[in-house]
Structure 1
Amino acid sequence: MPNPITRPLLRWAGRLRFPRLALLTAALFVADLLVPDVIPFVDEILLGLGTLLLANLKQPSSGDR
C-alpha cells in the first residue's frame, strides 16, 4: 500500500529525467547522511527515487528509435 505522504513526491519525481533525478537523489542521500531522520519517511523516498533512477537508465531515449 503506497504511503500517502511519499506518493505525490514520487509521482512528481517520476516526470524528471536523468540528470535532475540523479541530483535530487544524491542531494537527499547526502542530507540524510549528515542529519539523520530530519525528513520524515526519507528512507522510503530514497528507495522510490532510486527505483525511478534505475528505471530511467534502462529506458531508451525517444531519439534512439
Structure 2
Amino acid sequence: MADTFSQEIGGVFQDGLTIQIPIFYKLMASMLTVAVIPIFLLGGIVSAGGTPGASSPRSACRTASSS
C-alpha cells in the first residue's frame, strides 16, 4: 500500500502523493507548445496583410486580362 505523507509548505499542508509524468509526455507537450507559437505569429502577419485592393497593381492586371 502506498504511504502518503503531509508536509507543511508556507503554512499550508500539502499531500505528498505525487503522479510521475513520463519524460516522453513532457517533451511532447513542450514541443507542441513551441510549434504552435510560430503558427499563431504567421497567422497574425498574414491576416494583417489583408487582401489586395483595387489600387493594387496585381488586381489591375487581373481585371485587364479578364476582359
For normalisation by structure 2, the TM-score amounts to 0.32
Determine which structure has greater relative contact order: mean sequence separation of CA pairs < 8 Å that are 6+ residues apart, divided by chain length: 1
Of Structure 1 and Structure 2, the greater helix share is in 1
Say which one has the larger Rg.
2
